[in-house]
Structure 1
């Protein structure tokens, strides 16, 4: 039997995989041609840099999420609060991705990031207590 923390970890991996697919689709008109506009331009030109930036973000703060989860799994003492924090992190990452890719609202993106930030801090505090 595996720890319930594996599911939020896998969900984050799934989000990251989805962003790779989305980035490939966004770059396809420029790289391979399909989807180009009649004038030869890429209809995804405005959103492609935001997808790319968000994908890069999945390898920054989330590193601390995965490290905390692995340490908690090793301790074999995952509490319901820690599991809730892990899912809050995933929900916050999904929201953060949506805000960053679909809007240019930096203030909202920062507010949503705060959810991720606090969830991971909570996991680490739980490790240290």
Structure 2
């Protein structure tokens, strides 16, 4: 399993699970009253929509990452380049999540997304090369 994109794929799944947990915690004051401030407000009100938006993003472009990885696995193409690109993608998704959730820096978010975008395009290019 060390020489396959399964680990990076699992890491992305773990990131999604972490985002679901974060979203649940961020919504807890509003939904269950857990963690409300003394005035009844939600201390995570500013983060909740950012976490939700980021979680939605995990099911857009990353879909092409997972499909490419599965197809590469089926072809037996699991060399260092594939594994490296898969980890670049995952690292980029983690950075993208951090930037989107904790900052309003759209320029930086776009730059980080470009890394993810190019890693997935490269995986697809490897699929299409003879």
TM-score range, shorter chain: over 0.9
Q: Could you list the runs of 5+ residues in structure 2 that have no partner in the other structure?
A: none
Aligned match of 1:111:
111
Q: Give the TM-score of the pair, scaled to structure 2.
A: 0.96
Deviation digits for residues 85-129 of structure 1, max 9, x if unmatched? 000000000000000000000000000000000000000000000
User: The residue matched to 1:77 in structure 2 has which SS?
Assistant: coil
Deviation digits for residues 63-104 of structure 1, max 9, x if unmatched? 000000000000012221111000000000000000000000
Q: Does the 8 A contact of 1:3 with 1:73 survive in 2? A: no
CA distance in 2, matches of 1:2, 1:90: 16
CA distance in 1, matches of 2:112, 2:77: 29
Aligned match of 1:11:
11
Runs of 4+ residues deviating >6 angstroms: none
